[in-house]
Amino acid sequence: MLDATPLTDGWTLGHEGGALPATVPGCVHTDLLAAGVIPDPFLGRNETGVAWVGRREWTYETELTASSGHERTDLVFDGLDTAAEIVLDGRSLGKVRNMHRSYRFDVTGVSGRLAVRFASAYTEAEAVRQRLGDRPNAYPEPFQHIRKMACSFGWDWGPTLVTAGIWRPVRLEHWSTARLARVRPLVTVDGRHGRVELRVDVERTRVEADLTLEARTGDVRAVAAVDGTGGTVRLDVPDPELWWPRGYGEQPLYDVELTLLHGDVPLDTWRRRIGFRTVELDRGADAHGSAFTFAVNGTRLFARGVNWIPDDVFPSRVTRERYRERLAQAADAGVDLVRVWGGGIYESEDFYDACDELGLLVWQDFPFACAAYPEEQPLRGEVEAEARENVVRLMPHPSLVLWNGNNENLWGFRDWDWERRLAGKSWGEGYYLGLLPRVVAELDPTRPYAAGSPWSGSWDHHPNDPAHGTHHSWEVWNREDYAEYRANVPRFVAEFGWQAPPAYATLRRALPGEELAAGSPGMLHHQKAEDGNGKLERGLARHFAVPDGTPGEEFDRWHYLTQVNQARAVAAGIEHWRSNWPVCAGTVVWQLNDCWPVTSWAAIDGDGRPKPLYHELRRLYADRLLTLRPGGDGPLLAAVNQAAEVWRGTLRLRRMSVDGTVLGATTVSLTAFPRSVADLRVPRDLVPTGPKEFLVADAWGSPRSSGAESGGALRALHFPAPDKDIPYPRPEFEVSVTPGPVTAVTVTARTLVRDLLLQADRLAPGARADTGLVTLLPGERVTIGVDGWPHPDSSAARTALYCVEPAL
């Protein structure tokens, strides 16, 4: 039987002062940090001070004993970041140049000093650039000339920390006669019949040996002979339980085991979990353009998505538990689709396992983003090898529903002046429209492939045409107010978003000793977007009066209001687009997470703290959503029902004054059929007539859609004027605190209190609130649960409560 020995101990990292202890898996930066050689690059402006690390060569070493009782011993690296030479006992085993691949070397009978000598990624990338010619990209670093995580070279939310290291596990594999070189599971469902077809490649040391494949799942067993170096074994499963995305059904997973046998002797075993489901992507033409609608098990769905970036700029630090925590946060917010963005990595099995279990659909980009990529060698061979390996590696996961060729490169060629600057040089089109779809069609025909995002389906339409395929909406935020989200109805919005700073405690940790201000040195260093603060300021100015007061008060108001603006911006988009289902079939918010503490578009900051946007997503992505949106003749009301049951209830509409007076009201019945949207007309006499008035819609009869307790209501609000023009009363409210395992903070409003927010991390760095922004009418109350607050106190709670205040 194949015997695997992990190589985790005894590694050292060469350094000018001598050898340092090294952690494998790991990277140079984390080893230097652990040894006290460099400061934490996430704090202050230390990132700049450690830039030298990415320009150096580094060597990892350990002693290797490869002897065993087997015929063959292989040295296997699951991931090397990135350009390296592997030397054993003074003999070169080979050179590698791709972070996204694994590597295997025959070391049978060889022992001695093992050295992994990493070149600077800059040196490798710049050498390839000099050989193949420069190509345009969105950032000044040469990331498109090396097969490495692009965002390690910096992004508009990420630091430039170009590391090196043995970033995934390494081991010795001892084996005899034969081993399983590759197992490709094709999982299909036809009516009430499920099939797992395992296509197997075998590597041998004995050509003459008769080999057998035995596969099992549950009580189903099948056997097939190996013909030469390959074979196929099929498992037919009657009436399989179907795997569904969260909110549509359960996520049953089946254990599949495949054993390679020589006679009765097992030689190697492959084990995975699979799920039975069908996935289709409707891209057909219709009266509105070209669709982009997912259907799982025949059920068409509006995808409630988030974009995922690497959760740490040093991915080797992301544990199985951290993946699970972050993805569980997504699921708890109502998310059912996670897009693995193309400037990052193919994630670890832990990521996809969690998605399988949580019912999160995975849209997987191939790692190409925001750049023109050369198609010549040495890159072309690397691209094909990594694609073939990772397509097969990820195939077992039922959560994976789409392969996507790239992020924004087809759009960039058309709109970012690349075509002129390239002057005929290759730029990646051959990958996205040729190589990658061929690899997917050959290896994984059970899943759809898209050439890129955004992409209209062909060059017959602009790549980012909202009427065709996927669309990225970045005029909003970059140049326009979020009200412009309502200007069109894209078929599928794969990227859109609005920035906000991280939580207060995250800033305090990241910028120790700094007097916080929007433009303070540390804040500006942790703002990587071009004119990011300028866009934040202009976005605020359209809606709010400029914060005023002492420097600390001014920052606190700026911090709160920018977070409010982020939540409102994303809400404006999602409410509009969900209300236009089925023309629009999905929204994928940019972005769920961060890789360090930074002002960004994330809903969860770099320390894992949810922003108000996160809590707002729980409302926006609930099965049932009530919306009031501006319209030409008054606000438009829509009841969005993504649940499988009819939504029948009662709807109360109230036209109110900001002083709390009810100026008009009516009650009507509400019916929204499953997976549909019901539009209701707001009576003209209830339409607000000026900035002193607003509209409130409350719907009963759908408690399970919002997560509210039975009898709770869904609410939508419409204020016809920007906050700076609304004559709000001075907010008045009472606060009471009830200690417990989860402390209850109850706020009772005496006036209109708009967008009340308890910033629990201001009470204690580890404190978390279970509620985000909430608007209270006079006399209403809300109870907010706070976990991790060691010394509850009502006066302290009041200091952490913020709301919109009247303009001076």
Instruction: Assess contact for 776 and 658: CB atoms under 8 A.
Output: no
At residue 213's C-alpha, the angle toward residues 208 and 214, to 5°, is 145
Token pair of 362 as six digits: 């995975």
Token pair of 168 as six digits: 């995934």
The three-state DSSP-derived secondary structure of 726-777 is CCCCCCCEEEEEECCCCEEEEEEECCCEEEEEECHHHCCCCCEECCCCEEEC
CA distance 599 to 532: 9
Cα distances (Å, whole numbers) of residue 269 to 236, 389, 499: 20, 18, 48
**Nearest alpha carbon to residue 134 among 367, 366, 143:** 143
For residue 284, what are the contacts with CB-CB under 8 A and spacing of at least 6? 290, 291
For residue 520, what are the contacts with CB-CB under 8 A and spacing of at least 6? 511, 514
Name the strand (E) or helix (H) holding 420: helix 418-422
Strand 220-225 with 693-700, pairing: unpaired
CA distance 184 to 395: 7
CA distance 248 to 243: 9
Helix 551-579 × helix 612-620 angle, to 10°: 20
Name the strand (E) or helix (H) holding 509: helix 504-510
Instruction: Assess contact for 608 and 768: CB atoms under 8 A.
Output: no
CA distance 8 to 25: 7
DSSP-assigned letters across all residues of 318-337: --HHHHHHHHHHHHHTT--E
Instruction: Assess contact for 350 and 66: CB atoms under 8 A.
Output: no
Count of positions (residues) in the chain: 808
Instruction: Assess contact for 76 and 126: CB atoms under 8 A.
Output: no
CB atoms within 10 A of CB 257: 13
CA distance 1 to 638: 62
Integer distance in angstroms from the first to the last C-alpha of the chain? Answer: 77
At residue 122's C-alpha, the angle toward residues 119 and 125, to 5°, is 95
Q: Give bridge partners of residue 456 from the DSSP assignment.
A: none
Active site residues: 408
Helix segments in 549-602, DSSP class H: 551-579
Place of tokens 């107010």: 481
For residue 456, what are the contacts with CB-CB under 8 A and spacing of at least 6? 290, 462, 463, 464, 465, 468, 469
Token pair of 350 as six digits: 């832990």
CA distance 698 to 682: 13
Token pair of 683 as six digits: 């009576």
Instruction: Give me the phi and psi of 144, to 5 degrees please.
Output: -80, -5
Q: Give bridge partners of residue 86 from the DSSP assignment.
A: 94, 116
CA distance 176 to 350: 30
Distance of CA 497 to the CA centre of its chain: 13
CA distance 364 to 307: 10
CA distance 98 to 398: 27
Instruction: Assess contact for 28 and 53: CB atoms under 8 A.
Output: yes
